[in-house]
Amino acid sequence: MPIEPRRDAPVPPLAPGVKYRRILLKMSGEALCAREGGFGLDAGAVGLLADELTQAWRELGVQLALVVGGGNIFRGLGASASGMDRSQADYMGMLATVMNALALQDALEKRGVPTRVMTALAMQQIAEPYIRRRAVRHLEKGRVVLFAAGTGNPYFSTDTAAALRAMEIHADALCKATKVDGVYDRDPKQHPDAEFFRRLSFDDFLARKIKVMDSTALTLCRDNKLPIRVFKLSAHGNIARVLKGEDVGTLIDERP
């Protein structure tokens, strides 16, 4: 009996009042852990994240691309600090991001969301190679695209990879999911009096040397006028609010 080709789910229409048509969402590998600072993959955490993404995708019709870090499996910078060659450690970190992307792909497709994993390093048996025009076409067809393996080059973070991919696919904004409500001048968990910023310019962010996102990624966004929204991932419904363009977390853009 011939095998029926897999058919994608119908593309949800863009909901009225949605600010962004196409978004790149960056999150850390810790989002797939059972607890903050933990390691490995937790089926419950992956499922909760997939539920939030599925609901937002279905209700809003936004074209959604994802970049997930790999720190829950392997931290390249940590291994490098322990004596491993930096390039070798970074390549191992890229493989960790592929594992996370495949786990999230599986959870999303179990919920009826069509997805594609595209990697900067060739691994044809498990994912598509990253080709910009193909990625854009997937998004136009309503598929959620997961970009993995960073930029394919050592010494570049997944933040930088997210900024680069966001510009390549002409995303309307780069949204970074974190553990806190947005951008503070200091770590709010260690400093209860830390100042929260509802809005920052790119230059202010760089001048204050805030560690939420590395300077390479932020400079790329500044030079290409790509706004960044930093928000708390664990707050239920925040992903949908951000995709709608609501004033959640901290907005970083070119305006002073």
CA distance 216 to 219: 5
- Answer whether residue 187 shows pLDDT above 90: no
- Answer whether residue 6 shows pLDDT above 70: no
Q: Could you tell me the pLDDT band of residue 1, with boundaries at 50, 70 and 90?
A: very low
pLDDT in tens, 59-110: 999 999 999 999 999 877 777 778 899 999 999 999 999 999 999 999 999 9
| pTM for this prediction | 0.91
All structural domains of the chain with their residue ranges: 23-253
pLDDT in tens, 137-184: 999 999 999 999 999 999 999 999 999 999 999 999 999 999 889 999
pLDDT in tens, 201-244: 999 999 998 888 999 999 999 999 999 999 999 888 999 999 88
CATH class of 23-253: alpha beta
Question: How big is the CA angle at 100 (ends 95 and 104), to the nearest 5 degrees?
Answer: 150
User: How much of the chain, in percent, has pLDDT values that exceed 90?
Assistant: 71
Nearest to 139 by CA among 64, 52, 73: 64
Q: Which helix (H) or strand (E) holds 29?
A: none
CB 177 within 8 A of CB 26: yes
DSSP strand E in 83-211: where?
115-119, 128-129, 144-148, 173-178, 183-184, 196-197, 199-201
